[in-house]
Structure 1
Amino acid sequence: MTNTTDSNAQAGVRKVARLYRMVMDKHVCPYGTKSKYLLEREGYTVEDHHLTTREETDAFKEKHGVKTTPQTFIGGERLGGYDALRAHFGRDKDDGGKSYTPVLAVFAVGLALAVSLAFFVYGTPLHIRTAEWFVAFSMAMLAMLKLQDVEQFSTMFVGYDLLGQRFVPYAYAYPFLEAAAAVLMAGRILPWISIPVALVIGTIGAVSVFYAVYVQKRDIKCACVGGSGDVPLGFISLSENLAMVGMAIWMLLRPTL
């Protein structure tokens, strides 16, 4: 979008923005802080006006006919709040689509932890334990995300898990079983518990995902990062379960290293 401000910027004119945000003793508006940071990143000198009391804030809202703060003014024009500011600078974020980002972030951190630990213990990241720790750490973090809100997780889980649909308590138990298997597998402790648990829940999960995605052709969310996630049920969800099964089989075939 081309406007007077953009033209002035191209001509080397100093860019100035007026920002009104709540900065009180017991509350500093996070969106106001982020608005100031965004404006400065875009090269603006920010005239930072603090609204330090509730009365001052209410008076500002009434004067400008707005319901929220912060509010940004550029060139005498009111742009609006933080979201409007992002839109003005072409930084809109599409929150409507599903994304694999949450689960990929878990896998990336799990791998980094496994590589770091292997390097510390064995002096090299290229060790068989690296792969084992990667699976175990990833399982543990995914379980932790589920355990933040087991009720919400179970609601999503019974939407596609074949056993969960027939026996709802399994949906509540799943995060605890996954966490226990992950912790025990990381240290190769009590394999007579961790191996069958991982094998059973991983197999049921893989079959359930395959049936829902590739047989029923359903487009639904995966509960793999907890009930609040927006990860599509698909290949990555299937791979997660197959990795769990693979880990169980590997430890069964190689009980010691």
Structure 2
Amino acid sequence: MTDPAKHAVLYRMVMPEHVCPWGLKARHLLRSKGFTVDDHWLETREANDAFKAEHGVKTTPQVFIDGVRVGGYEDLRRHLGLKAPDPQAKTYGPVLAVFAVTALMALAVSHAAFGSALTFRALEWFIGLSMMALAMLKLQNLETFSTMFLNYDLLAKRWIPYGKVYPFAELGAGALMVAGVLTWLSAPVALFIGGVGAISVFKAVYLDKRELKCACVGGSGNVPLGFLSLTENLMMIAMAVWMGVMALQHG
């Protein structure tokens, strides 16, 4: 519910070819905090440029509260005591999101196949699906990933093409593990790339004490190289050993 005593004025771009998303977010935030909003549309590029020149600002939207300019969307969040997102901040969020989604997928498939979500096959699917999902993120921009990978991977530094081979090897091994076929191929591949990766991350993080971005979710993320980065490789190693043992027992 809006409070008449809380009044804000918002200037934002609303044009036929472009509606500023930050303006929409600013309006929503103000209303959710009980403000009545005097919503002014800047409907042409000329009007937007003239507004910025008049107020000496570089961007829109701009919010005014009690006649005082607060600023843009992130300034508004800070003004209201909320945390403003930092696009440069390091976060494990992308990796955790992948693991959460692939875990849910594995549980759902296990329930569909066996009538129970909690099975050993669900664990195998979780690791295989995680490998495939992480490979997909790397393949979205293979050039950027392979360049970023060179910062710490020991094999990629010695053989440059390995940076572009790695995501395909990870994807293929993961797919074969999910399907439960050609273990003689998938297990050694996963063991090899997981082993090299684990040694590389361990050396960079724990021995050399380097602070680097991990290329595990592709080249565009701000995931710090660390324990969760190591987890990707350890899961591949564990899965390779497990499936290799199972194959030998049933051979």
The TM-score normalised by the length of structure 2 is 0.92
Q: What is the CA–CA distance in structure 1 between the aligned matches of 2:127 and 2:57, rounded to whole Å?
A: 50
Letter in 1 for 2:138: K
Deviation of 1:37 after TM superposition, in Å, equals: 1.1
Letter in 1 for 2:172: A
Q: Deviations over 1:191-216 (max 9, x none)?
A: 23222211110111111111222222
Q: 4+ residue stretches of structure 1 with deviation over 3 A?
A: 94-97
Alignment of 1:188 onto 2:187:
no
Distance 2:240 2:220 in 1: 28
CA–CA distance in structure 2, aligned partners of residues 156 and 203 of structure 1: 19
> Could you say which residue in structure 2 is the equivalent of 1:211?
203
- The offset of 1:95, in angstroms, is 4.2
What are the Cα deviations for residues 141-176 of structure 1, in whole angstroms up to 9, with x where unaligned? 111111111111111211111111100000111111
8 A contact 2:88–2:222 mirrored in 1 = no
Aligned with residue 41 of structure 1, among 2, 23, 32: 32
2:118 is aligned to 126
Does residue 14 of the first structure (1) align with residue 33 of the second (2)?
Answer: no
SS at match of 1:78: strand
SS of 1:73's equivalent?
Answer: strand
> What's the % identity of the aligned pairs?
56
Amino acid at match of 2:143: E
Between the aligned partners of 1:217 and 1:56, the Cα distance in structure 2 is 52
Structure 2 residue runs without a partner (length 5+): none
- The aligned length equals 246
The separation in 1 between residues aligned to 2:93 and 2:28, in whole angstroms, is 25
Q: Does 1:174 find its partner at 2:194?
A: no
Q: Give the C-alpha shift of residue 131 in structure 1.
A: 0.3
Paired amino acid for 1:176: F
What is the match of residue 3 of structure 1? none
How far, CA to CA, are the matches of 1:16 and 1:47 in structure 2?
Answer: 8
Residues in 1 aligned to 2:85 and 2:199: alpha-carbon distance in whole angstroms: 35
**In 1, Cα distance between the equivalents of 2:73 and 2:12?**
11
Letter in 2 for 1:44: F
1:74 corresponds, among 45, 50, 65, to 65
Measured in 2, the distance between the counterparts of 1:71 and 1:137 equals 44
> What's the RMSD between the two structures over aligned residues?
1.7
The residue type paired with residue 105 of structure 2 is L
Distance in 2 of aligned mates of 1:71 and 1:203: 52
2:220 alignment counterpart? 228
1:154 is aligned to: 146
